[in-house]
Copies of this chain bind each other. A is one copy, B any other.
Amino acid sequence: MWHCQEVPASLSPVRQSGVRAHNLALVLRTVANSADPPSRAAVAAATGLTRATISTLVDDLIAGALLTEVGPAPRSGAGRPAAGLRLSPDGPAGLGLEINVDYRAACVVDLTGSVRHRLVEKGDQSLPAVAGLAHQALLRASSDGLTVAGAALAVPGLVGAGGIIRVAPNLGWQDVTVGDLVPGLPLTVDNEANLAALGELAAGDPPASFVYVSGEIGIGAGIVLGGELYRGVRGWSGEIGHIPIDPGGPPCRCGARGCLEQYAGQEAIARAAGDLTVAGTALGTALATVVNLLDIDTVVLGGIYAPLVPQLHDAIQAEISRRVLTADWSPVRLRAATLGADAAVRGAAGAVLRGVLDDPAAWLSRIQAV
């Protein structure tokens, strides 16, 4: 009784060092979330920790090049002027990589979220080609004096445990192991829609829970719940392309009939030649199911849908209002992705940085060891 197979993350003890790790992350996050560079005192007030504690935490974070002091902001009123704190542009950077049907891309993003380098190349969808692009990006980063903390690779397919690409239909891949793509750097492999959702979370200003819909040849979704990407048990969440719309509809490559992909996939959109009513209605029907199930209030449309939102909006919204039971109490917002085609690479780089921001203590001890 009272046991389930996998116990939540709370199954690890907390020692005093864990307290410090947590509070380092707390301070870093507070600074990152502040609009203007906050003072130590402001961070103390925001977090509830004392100024003394904040001082020692900030010292560590500055020593690790995660934060920098910025000149005192002009302020009215009496008192010693505050030294502003902000994320350091010279701290760890993230390397984002993407391999897709007709291009591959890399970008280097620093802690402040600035894209420092961005490379896109067409053709040659192979892992060595991606490795080459990554190498180029790393060279440029190191010529800037940037330390790259890690890399993440976005692929249009199902990624299993250990970063194995189970199947990427549009690349023709099956059970591909990525291996040591970027020597010496920790590498994460993830689904393109998942990373794009993270990119949107970081760069756009969505609520903590939303669904990112990635329209490409297939249709995928990245699900963010409470500020965290929901990956599912095996990492294969968000497969919405084959939600059935009409059992009497056109046959789909998956074997069933009338899947969403047949109405709103890239090919269907192209065939529609501008009249996106059917696609919008199908998308709206599928999204109504998603919203009813997950009770999220924001849907972000990305990929090929992003530029089409003006034409899709009304049909989707109509269907959602009609089918979502709770639409009367809380309207569902529909918006276009802000990053467009870059969402996945940017999200990949952001995922690396998110790792550093979420556990700065690990980063500090990592650079200490060197």
B-binding residues in A (CB < 8 A)? 1-16, 18-19, 22-23, 25-26, 29-30, 32-33, 47-49, 87, 112-113, 158, 160, 166, 201-203, 205-209, 221, 223, 225-228, 230-240, 242-248, 254-256, 285, 289-290, 292-297, 322-323, 325-326, 329-330, 357
Complex alpha-carbon distance, A267 and B205, angstroms: 45
Complex alpha-carbon distance, A30 and B239, angstroms: 36
Is the beta-carbon distance between B13 and A47 smaller than 8 angstroms?
yes
Between-chain CB contacts (< 8 Å), 19 pairs: A1-B112, A1-B113, A6-B227, A7-B208, A8-B228, A10-B25, A11-B29, A12-B26, A14-B22, A232-B295, A232-B296, A234-B297, A234-B326, A234-B330, A236-B326, A239-B293, A239-B326, A242-B292, A246-B246
How would you classify the secondary structure of chain A's contact residues: helix, strand, loop or mixed?
loop
Complex alpha-carbon distance, A189 and B293, angstroms: 20
Cβ-neighbour of A242 out of B4, B325, B357 (below 8 A): B325
Residue numbers in B under 8 Å from A231 (CB-CB): 295
Complex alpha-carbon distance, A245 and B243, angstroms: 10
Residue numbers in B under 8 Å from A8 (CB-CB): 208, 226-228
Residue numbers in B under 8 Å from A221 (CB-CB): 293
Task: Report the nearest B residue to A330, measured CB to CB.
Answer: B234
Residue numbers in B under 8 Å from A234 (CB-CB): 295, 297, 326, 329-330
**When A292-B243, A322-B255 are in contact, do A208 and B5 touch as well, CB less than 8 Å?**
yes
Residue numbers in B under 8 Å from A206 (CB-CB): 4-5
Q: Distance in Å from the Cβ of A149 to the closest Cβ of chain B?
A: 15
Complex alpha-carbon distance, A245 and B323, angstroms: 13
Task: Report the nearest B residue to A298, measured CB to CB.
Answer: B233
Task: Give me the 7 closest cross-chain CB pairs, A-B, nearest first.
Answer: A232-B295, A1-B113, A6-B208, A237-B295, A3-B33, A239-B292, A2-B32
Q: Residue among A3, A209, A243, A295 with the most chain B CB within 10 A?
A: A295
Residue numbers in B under 8 Å from A12 (CB-CB): 26, 48
Q: Distance in Å from the Cβ of A163 to the closest Cβ of chain B?
A: 15
Is the beta-carbon distance between A4 and B227 smaller than 8 angstroms?
yes
